[in-house]
Amino acid sequence: MKIQIKRIDKTLPLPEYKTKGAAAFDLYARETLAIKPQSLGYIPTNLVVKTPPGYVLIMAARSSTPKRGLIIPHGIGIVDADFCGDDDELLCQVYNITKKSVAVTRGERIGQAMFVKFGKVSQWKEQKQMNKKSRGGFGSTGIA
């Protein structure tokens, strides 16, 4: 797959897959900044990405990110294909769960992203009932 991107700062690296089996590529912080305690922060990733039709770009935290006290408050970021204007830099939204500022350094890997193919509903077919027994909710198949 060939993807069109724009780097805002060409001294930072292109996105890369760190291992042969990696599904997601790393995102780098374009600026050094501090995320205030128990606050939202927006980390510029240096990239504008043109996602191909029929795909969505999913942004997620790296597994090391929560160890630093940062989480993605909405779990993942969903970037639509039409978010690709010249000023549509991907921002990694984070929440500092600690009581101290968390420093983010320019060039640091702060997230990861992957392209996922998706389908759209062409028509909703509403039913009065689903004719199947409910299987249960959270934890219904057992606890770890």
Pick 4-16+24-117's CATH classification: 1.10.150.120, 3.40.50.2000, 2.70.40.10, 2.40.110.10.
Answer: 2.70.40.10
Q: Which residue has the tokens 């006290």?
A: 69
pLDDT of residue 144 exceeding 70 = no
* 60-63 long-range Cβ contacts below 8 angstroms, 24+ apart: 60/24, 60/111, 60/112, 60/113, 60/114, 61/94, 61/111, 61/112, 62/26, 62/109, 62/110, 62/111, 62/112
Regarding pTM above 0.75, the answer is yes
The structural domains of the chain, with segments of one domain joined by +, span: 4-16+24-117
Condensed to tens digits (0 to 9), the pLDDT of residues 73-127 reads 988 999 999 999 999 999 999 999 999 999 999 999 999 999 999 999 999 999 9
80 HSE (CA, 13 A, CB side): 4
